[in-house]
Amino acid sequence: MTRTTYRTADVDGFKVFYREAGSRGAPKLLLLHGFPSAGHMFRDLIPLLADKFHIVAPDLPGFGQSDMPARESFRYTFDNFAQVIERFTEVIGFDRFAIYVFDYGAPTGFRLALRHPERITAIISQNGNAYEDGLSNGWTPIKAYWQDPSPDNREALRAFLTPEATRWQYTHGVPDPTTVSPDGQNLDNFYLARPGSDDVQLDLFGDYKSNVALYPSFQEYFRKHKPPFLAVWGKNDPFFIPPGAEAFKRDNPNAVVQFFDTGHFALETHAKEIAESIRAFLK
């Protein structure tokens, strides 16, 4: 049952594309991707876990093969992401599940946990932040936009949307960049180049401040519910730095934190090692 299938779900009229693998009777695992990627970032991880778990990896709204409605008809916020993904899990019958969260997937998945803690069996966070300790200086231009959403500050953020910036995200902090396949980054750049995608992404940069505002609520959830928690972290991530991973242990002393000598997109170089960590943690 390690074969991956590619499906779409009708979520109240919104098309969500997703990858699925594993036996439907196995423990459920929801994979949530980040910027600027899509479910394809899990292409190497899924086959390594599908013999033990029923896995689904949806593309977030505006990403990958999921619908990207016009900004006039859909507000690109993390609250709306969480609402769509929550309904997606209900539509496909994911009632209780573990979540693997990365980058944008973290504030999306943590919102699901806040709303329905009884549905979450465990959390794996791969460079998925919930602490201001974890925000590097790389966030400075984005924070400037939060404080003053002027046209000039918004325009400055387009530098994050260039093909060169995507390649940098994939290779920065990787000891040997030749080990990083160009396929994922090229596909991300294809999606970023679609008409209207740039403004969608700029809207999300602006709304990321809502995630920081929720950090205390996420932390209270960790303290109160203490879900089984595994942080698997690319230690050379230029955006989400190691103190953010260590901080999970403040609120959930049983959290397990593991670092890998790689960058932001840790699965590009360490899918096998991360899969082994997950299997040991969730067995």
- Looking at the annotation, which residues are catalytic? 264
Any alpha helices (H) in the chain, and if so which ranges?
46-49, 78-92, 105-115, 140-147, 151-156, 163-171, 182-192, 197-225, 242-246, 248-251, 267-282
CA 67-148-142 angle, to 5 degrees, is: 55
Least Cα distance to 141 among 165, 164, 163 occurs for 165
| Nearby residues of 51 by Cβ (< 8 Å), 6 or more positions away | 1, 2, 22
**Residue whose tokens read 């995507």:** 166
